[in-house]
Structure formats: structure tokens, C-alpha cells
Structure 1
Amino acid sequence: MEFQTGFFYLFSAVLLFAAFRTVTARSPVHAVLYLMLAFSQAAAIWLLLKAEFLGITLVLVYLGAVMVLFLFVVMMLDINVEELRQGFWKNFPLAAIMGAGIGFELISVLWIGFPEMVVAPEVAQTAMHLADHNNTREIGKLMYSQYFVAVEIAAVILLVGMFAAIALTLRQRKDSKAIDPSIQVKVRAADRLEVVSLPATRPAQQPESQA
């Protein structure tokens, strides 16, 4: 067995274990950590398949941003796990049936949908020639040449979505003590400070001596 095959089975086993523990973990924080482990193993498998761009993107986007955000939100919300697990066994039969159906469909696609095919010699030669190319560079050339307009449109849509999310969640709090900067600039010292003349203090009286 080649070392690539051994690493593939190793990463796949850890990925399946992490995915199983993500669903069965009692603590939401532990579930997020197991999900991060599953994403890292998937990125390693993509690197074995020479899909460097997908592997690095998975690490940077999901592990570096999305999952850290999930972990921060889960730890800040302090979710009551006991209340969430009250209807677990009630919905378990339906979830098990759906999971079994999805698993059967995946097995059918992998074992039946892709029969053994004979690769033509010219196709094999072309594949060997393209194996020396950097797929990340080729993807970059396609993104910023042939699909440049689509990439720009997607970037604008994501930017609009980000501003829309900020605008929808931004509310004026009634208990906020924020002051309008324009009002602060127009403030004059005479409006804030008032000089009051007070009489001079009297000297303390000496106590009368007892006879």
C-alpha cells in the first residue's frame, strides 16, 4: 500500500470520527471543536488529491473565520443543552430514517452511478501533461480573465449582503448615552459653566472656656 493511500485512510477515519462526535457531543463547544477537526481532515484529503486551492480555502475560510465565529457565538450565548435535548428521542426515528436514506443514496451514487471506465490513451496523456500544472494558478487565471465579470458581481452581492445585515441588526437603543458629535461641537463654555459668587467663609468660633 502506498503512503498516499495510507494517509487517505487515516484522514478519512479521523474525519468520520470527528463528524460522528460533532453530532453526538453533549457540549456545543465540543461539537464545534470536533467540526473544526473534521474540516481540517477534509482539507488534508483535498491536498492529497492535489486540490491545493480547495484545501487552503477550506482552512482559511471555514477554520480561520467561520468556525472561530461559531465558537465565539456558542461560548457567548451560554446555551442550555438540557432544554434542547428534551425532544431528542421524540424526533430521533424520523432523523434516523432520513439519515439512512441519504446514506443509501450516497452509496448508490458511488457504487452504481460510476461504473468502471476505460480511459483513452490520448486522455491519459493529456492528464499526465496537466499534472505538472499548478491548479491554483489556473483557477486564478480563469477567475480574473474568463469569469472576471461573474467574480465581480459575486463580490458586490456579498458586499451588499454584509451592509444589509448590518443595517437590519442596527437599532437605536433607548438606554444608550451616545451624544451627537454635531451637538458637542456647538457647545459653548457659557452654556456649561456658571460662576456663582459665594460669601467669604466665616472664621471658626472658638469654644467658650469653662469656668
Structure 2
Amino acid sequence: MIVSAIAFYVFAAMAVAAGFMVIAARNPVHSVLFLILAFFNAAALFILMGAEFIALILVIVYVGAVAVLFLFVVMMLDIDFSELRQGFLQYLPIGGLVGFILALELIFVGVAWVITPEAASVASSPVVADVANTRALGQVLYTQYVYLFQAAGLILLVAMIGAIVLTLRHRVDIKRQVIAHQVGRKRHEGVELKDVKPGQGL
């Protein structure tokens, strides 16, 4: 119990510190790296709570895809970040107001949880010890919501095809892949033997 409590405080402190460094770092690449660190610590917190499926999804989807995509985009784009930071002060009052409201909501939730802890126990669902978290989620997802799951996959497939069609441009100066030519290519068309004499180049 003490080890889990220590691990919780360590991971929570690291997640909060990494989240702060995401917005405090001057280098955008460092901000993305701190974001990846925050995701890893959040996944560790999910594992401590017994939600290993959500932890794995967080690592696979957000760290393995989204955060890495952010990193490549930030590294490839030539953006003058000093020019973007010039208008920071004009958005500071709105950002401070939103942060203040969010802090009030978090304080309200914390105070309500301390005053009436039985509300959390009533709202929580009973824990089934015989079925693992991932297995229970899979049973519900592939039985009751299988059609919605397939519909979501179909929508993502259509979106992927649409993105490919929109970005695929037919230009004369670009070589295009022709599968029939590649499959029908003979060995003598791609390999040429050269008789190179000793001491001579091609």
C-alpha cells in the first residue's frame, strides 16, 4: 500500500511538472518531448488504478502516433516562433480567466469529494474481480456495440481515402508508380553485367 502511494505521488508530480514544462519551454521541440513524458506518467497512473487498457491506448495512440506526429511537424515547419509570441500579452487576460475558472472547478470537485465521499462510491460501478479490464471492455465492445464499432472504422476508412484523394495531385514532373510495369519487368531489363578490367573504372 505504501509503495503504491509513493508511486502515485511520484508519477503525479512528474505529470504535473511535465505538463507545466509543455507551456513553459521556449523550444517547441522540447515542449513536445515534455508532452510525451506527461503521457507516459498519465499511463502509469492509469495502471495504478487498474485501467491497463486505457494506459496502453494512451501510450500507443498518443505517444506513438499523435505526439510523434507533432514532433515531426514542429521540426519540419519553418515557423518564426518569436513572432508568434509577440501577441502573447493580449491573450493573457482571457487565458487567466479560463485558468481561474478551471481552478475553481477543480477546487469545487475536491471539496465536494472531501465533504461527501459517499457520492463517489455510489456513482462508481462495482468491480468485477473475475474479469480483467481489457477482457470486460472487449466483451462489451464486440457484442453490444459491434455495429457502432464497425461504423466508426468505416468512417475512419472513408476519411483516410478522402485525405489521400485530396492530396494526390497529377503532375507531369512527378514519377508515378505503375504496378503492372513493375510486376511485368524482366531480369535483363533491370540487371546489366559490366566487364570491368583491373585498374579501370566504369
Separation in 1 of the partners of 2:36 and 2:87? Answer: 26
Deviation at residue 113 of structure 1 after TM alignment: 6.3
1:84 aligns with 2:84: yes
- Residue aligned with 2:106, SS: helix
Separation in 2 of the partners of 1:139 and 1:160? Answer: 26
1:116 aligns with 2:117: yes
- Using the size of structure 2 for normalisation, the TM-score is 0.78
Distance verdict in 2 for CA 1:47–1:83, change over 3 Å: same
Match of 1:149 in 2: 147
Q: CA RMSD in A?
A: 2.6
Separation in 2 of the partners of 1:99 and 1:75? Answer: 29
1:5-20 correspondence runs (5 A): 5-20=5-20
1:15-26 correspondence runs (5 A): 15-26=15-26
1:103 aligns with 2:99: no
Separation in 2 of the partners of 1:62 and 1:180? Answer: 32
Distance verdict in 2 for CA 1:171–1:11, change over 3 Å: same
- Residue aligned with 1:91, SS: helix
Count of residue pairs the alignment pairs up = 177
Give a deviation string over 1:167-201, Cα, whole Å, max 9, x none. 22333346x243696xx9xxxxxxxxxxxxxxxxx
Give a deviation string over 1:106-152, Cα, whole Å, max 9, x none. 221232267221869xx99x63xx23431101111111112111110
Deviation at residue 102 of structure 1 after TM alignment: 1.3
- Residue aligned with 2:71, SS: helix
Asked which structure has the greater CA Rg, the reply is: 1
Distance verdict in 2 for CA 1:27–1:8, change over 3 Å: same
1:52-63 correspondence runs (5 A): 52-63=52-63
Separation in 1 of the partners of 2:147 and 2:67? Answer: 30
- Using the size of structure 1 for normalisation, the TM-score is 0.75
**2:157 aligned partner, one-letter code:** L
Match of 1:169 in 2: 167
Match of 2:131 in 1: 133
Match of 2:69 in 1: 69
Separation in 1 of the partners of 2:85 and 2:113? Answer: 38
Distance verdict in 2 for CA 1:132–1:89, change over 3 Å: same
- Residue aligned with 2:142, SS: helix
Match of 1:36 in 2: 36
Give a deviation string over 1:52-103, Cα, whole Å, max 9, x none. 0000110111111111111111101132110110101221121111111112
